[in-house]
Structure 1
Amino acid sequence: MSLARTRRHCVASWSWRSRCSGSHCFFGTEWLISLSLQSLERTRLLTQEDEQQPPQPPSHRGEGAPRRSFHRRRRPHRPPTQGTTGETAAAPETQAAVKAAAPAAAPQPLRQHAQPRSLDLSVVIPLFNEEQSIEDLVRQLRDVLSTIRMSYEVIFVDDGSSDGSFNVLRRAHQQNPRIKVIRFRRNYGKSAALSVGFKSARGAIVITMDADLQDDPREIPNLIRRIREGYDLVSGWKKKRRDPITRTIPSKFFNFVTSLMSGLKLHDFNCGLKAYRSAVVKEVRVYGELHRYIPALAHFSGFRVTEVPVEHRPRKFGKSKFGAGRFIRGFLDLLTVLFTTRYFRRPLHFFGAVGSLFALAGLVINVWLSILKLLGETSISNRPLFLVGILLIVVGVQFVSIGLLGEMITKAQHSEEEYSIRETIM
């Protein structure tokens, strides 16, 4: 405190005390004067000491006289203790002892989505407007599947039925949770229904059958037995068909041509009652109308395919969906299967072979006509066969060009080949 400031303080205190009256005012004033004089003397001594010391540079605060620093004793840092507000922190030794005695907490595993439990058997049944036959089919399946001692599920795929099929399936699911139902918004076809059912199936063995009661569920144990013998796909063979002649004759012709062109000797490719290993249904892609050729597709992929005779029953409810349009689409799909499985990675082998035959035929015709012209037996200008030969050569060159373009596209979009691997030993 400076000397002038001390004097002002004393004057202000004296003026305030002077307004008091009585003995208390007198003693208070005398005590205040004594205290002020002591402050003046202490300030004078401090001023003399400062004048005797050499001048110090001003501090960063801009003050001329340095401030006296007071060193405060720092307390040792202690780690914060856990607990609620108001609790007394335990001693460090006690905390260390507690930590040493407590077992190390095991790391918590990452929470993952639960995977669906695999089953022994899945039965996939596509249907379209089969309201009257569903209850009988569910009852027959329950009687058969309860005797084979396998964990199972039954997956119905409603392909956009317009009748009450879905309501019947809903009631069946409420009575038996093993029955699962998938419903399409519209009719997509049997191949789409099978494809969705295959994706949802969790069984090691997958059974497919129709919902019109013509496939007998009692044949399921026979199909499973053949699968356990080592086969990957077992197709049913309706040896004695209960269908009209308008279906049996076209079906036999269709099976004969398919067996001849695919190299797989089966009597009935289109039987709905089949058994698969799960690897087959997960690898073979079914789309369009290719459900008829699943045995051929599996055969081309290297799976073992066989057939077993099954009982075929007459249709009890509804009417068949078979027509002439399906017969024609079936042969077009056969060409699709043959081309996509044999020539998808080598299109020049197909187009080049066809183009070479056309070009060779046209070349032979024109050479023969040229020889006749040289011998003077005929004139080429009035022979339409000469134009046919030229046309065959042009068509043959175009086919070869298409094959070359296909090879270029295949090489440009080439990715790692997908091979069907049966097992691996590392």
Structure 2
Amino acid sequence: MNATNATAPQGDLGNAAPIDVSVVVPVYGCRGCLEELVERVDATLTGEGLSFEVILIDDQSPDRAWSRIEELSDSHRAVRGLRLSRNFGQHAAISAGLASARGGRVVVMDCDLQDVPEAIAPMLAAMEEGVEVVLGQRAERQDGWFKRTGSIAFYRTLGWLTDTEYDPTTANFGVYSRKVVDALNRMPETDRFLPLLVRWTGFNTVKIVVPHARRSEGRSGYTLGALLRMATRIALSFSDKPLRLVMTGALVIAAGAAAIAAFAVYRYSAGDIRVAGFTSIVASIWLVGSLLMGSIGVLGLYLGKVHGESKGRPQYLVWQDTREQRQ
């Protein structure tokens, strides 16, 4: 249906009214499905008798999604659009939405309708007393083989680098309490990865099985290489395991070198070696040199992260806000 003729949902009762639920949606490459997304979220939450807002964050989507977000914001009072000044990445866009969310509970979901809006209701119902996070568990993923393989490789690599077990059937789709959102908003780091930040808070989390749909438009911007690079970047931000791996490697090589040296001394004292071997000396130099360069490289990566954080730059910049345009 035409956005200009859409009926405004009853979720937003005005800026001063309390909001039961905020729905945060980072937008990238999904212009064509935004109206259906808003309508299905509206139908779900209105059916539950909840007041709500839908925050659509344009992470400089290449398909000119901002004009569509403005149309939806004009025709649906519950919709608020944020436009970032450049592409800051999915998790920075989510952070922008969390910082603007007013709801007592906050839903985070993707814009491509693979996260089924109708699943929001059972996730809200699962947030009983003492539960602060409800994650949607995609038992039957409707992705291609390559996407599923890339996702598994990403979570396994990330788990190995951070010494943490990850469930590849869960991602960002979930309901988060106001307590959790406030804690996330207080975290100052610029490298954002929502699942790890939420896990760090330690609040009680439950998982429920939710349906997973096929992507309705476009394709994922996460290639296998991009996922593996992101896993490495996140590991450098959230774990010191790479440094420990370098130290372990250094100790192993040192032990091997000591054993070889002791064996060489033994053979020399026994008269088996007359002239020191040129090949072993060169090999040792190359081995030690490579280890040193690798160690310096890992330290350089961590120093680069420290340098980036020390600048104190914001995680994102909001360029336009439809709420300000309404005023």
Determine if the alignment matches structure 1 residue 224 to structure 2 residue 102.
no
Map of 1:119 onto structure 2:
19
Structure 1 residue runs of 5 or longer lacking an equivalent are: 1-114, 411-426
Write the mapping of 1:347-366 to structure 2, written as runs, cut at 5 A. Answer: 352-366=247-261
Determine if the alignment matches structure 1 residue 372 to structure 2 residue 272.
no
Answer with 188-197 or 371-380: which moved more. Answer: 371-380
Find the partner of 1:157 among 27, 34, 57: 57
**Structure of greater Rg:** 1
Partner of 1:228: helix, strand, or coil?
A: coil
Name the Cα RMSD after superposition: 3.5
Please say if residues 191 and 288 of structure 1, whose CA atoms lie closer than 8 Å, have aligned partners that are also in contact.
no
Using the alignment, how far apart are the partners of 2:146 and 2:131 within structure 1?
A: 33
Using the alignment, how far apart are the partners of 1:396 and 1:318 within structure 2?
A: 44
Map of 1:300 onto structure 2:
200
Partner of 1:197: helix, strand, or coil?
A: helix
Greater relative contact order structure (CA < 8 Å, 6+ sep): 2
Please say if residues 290 and 333 of structure 1, whose CA atoms lie closer than 8 Å, have aligned partners that are also in contact.
no
Map of 2:176 onto structure 1:
276
Map of 1:258 onto structure 2:
158
Find the partner of 1:330 among 214, 230, 249: 230
Map of 1:215 onto structure 2:
115
Identity percentage of aligned residues: 24
Deviation at 1:275, TM superposition (A): 2.1
Query: Could you tell me which amino acid in structure 2 is paired with residue 220 of structure 1?
Result: I
Q: Cα 1:163–1:255, aligned 2, differ >3 Å: closer, same or farther?
A: closer
Write the mapping of 1:36-75 to structure 2, written as runs, cut at 5 A. Answer: none
Please say if residues 215 and 272 of structure 1, whose CA atoms lie closer than 8 Å, have aligned partners that are also in contact.
no
Using the alignment, how far apart are the partners of 1:243 and 1:252 within structure 2?
A: 12
Deviation at 1:206, TM superposition (A): 1.5
Please say if residues 157 and 228 of structure 2, whose CA atoms lie closer than 8 Å, have aligned partners that are also in contact.
no
The Cα offsets for residues 279-320 of structure 1, whole Å up to 9 and x where unpaired, read as 3333344877743xx323332343334433221111222233
Deviation at 1:164, TM superposition (A): 4.3
Write the mapping of 1:2-41 to structure 2, written as runs, cut at 5 A. Answer: none
Query: Could you tell me which amino acid in structure 1 is paired with residue 67 of structure 2?
Result: N
Query: Could you tell me which amino acid in structure 2 is paired with residue 368 of structure 1?
Result: F
Determine if the alignment matches structure 1 residue 176 to structure 2 residue 76.
yes
Deviation at 1:134, TM superposition (A): 0.8
Deviation at 1:194, TM superposition (A): 1.0
TM-score by length of 2: 0.72
Q: Cα 1:334–1:371, aligned 2, differ >3 Å: closer, same or farther?
A: farther
Partner of 2:203: helix, strand, or coil?
A: coil
Deviation at 1:185, TM superposition (A): 2.8
Query: Could you tell me which amino acid in structure 1 is paired with residue 264 of structure 2?
Result: L
Map of 1:47 onto structure 2:
none
Answer with 374-383 or 325-334: which moved more. Answer: 374-383
Structure 2 residue runs of 5 or longer lacking an equivalent are: 1-14, 307-327
Q: Cα 1:248–1:162, aligned 2, differ >3 Å: closer, same or farther?
A: closer
Map of 1:60 onto structure 2:
none
Deviation at 1:239, TM superposition (A): 1.7
Map of 1:108 onto structure 2:
none
Map of 1:23 onto structure 2:
none
Map of 1:166 onto structure 2:
66
TM-score by length of 1: 0.57
Deviation at 1:129, TM superposition (A): 3.1
Please say if residues 70 and 81 of structure 2, whose CA atoms lie closer than 8 Å, have aligned partners that are also in contact.
yes
The Cα offsets for residues 213-263 of structure 1, whole Å up to 9 and x where unpaired, read as 111011112222333253333332222111111111222232234345545
Deviation at 1:182, TM superposition (A): 0.3
Query: Could you tell me which amino acid in structure 2 is paired with residue 316 of structure 1?
Result: S
Find the partner of 1:239 among 113, 132, 139: 139
Aligned length: 284
Deviation at 1:136, TM superposition (A): 0.6
Q: Cα 1:366–1:203, aligned 2, differ >3 Å: closer, same or farther?
A: farther
